[in-house]
Amino acid sequence: MIAVMMGVCGAGKTSVGKEVAARLGWRYIEGDKLHPAANRAKMEAGTPLTDVDRWPWLDRIADEMRAADAAGGSAVVACSALREVYRDRLRRSGADIRFLHLTGDSELIRHRMEGRSGHYMPLSLLDSQLEMLEPAGPHETIDQIAITGSIGEVAEAVTRSLSAEPASSS
């Protein structure tokens, strides 16, 4: 299984994803590290990415997921996957994917982003990500995970969700 931690910047995809991977003994794939340098530079400058910018990045993530699946292993992937077409692009990898949307109100996320350092994604891009975020489409099943607790508590909620049957479309 490939568990995709999705959501806007600052939702905790990396922190929670690493914790979940460690708990389950799964491989961890950091989607941000697969961005081309031009994408990172654009985001550092406060410019939102376009779909054209994202396609090669999503394809690189899909390649990593396909490789993990082909090797018979499970993985946790941190990837915003904000739009249905992005999630569909990841599904084309053929891997057994479970999307887990890390959700929280914009003020909580804004507060978390203000407190982090060393990340190229500036707070100024949060609003564009919130505007772009699409709910699950009619053919999608996405588990909703609230981020109001600690990283450990959210990771525990993700782990429980992964051990349960997938949630119905939401």
Q: Is the pLDDT of residue 73 over 80?
A: yes
Decide if pLDDT at 117 tops 90.
no
pLDDT at 40 over 90: no
Residue-wise pLDDT tens digits, 127-160 = 777 888 898 888 899 999 999 999 999 999 999 9
Decide if pLDDT at 110 tops 80. no
d(C-alpha 50, C-alpha 81), whole Å: 13
Q: What is the SS3 assignment for 145?
A: strand
pTM attached to this predicted model = 0.88
CATH top class, domain 2-163? alpha beta
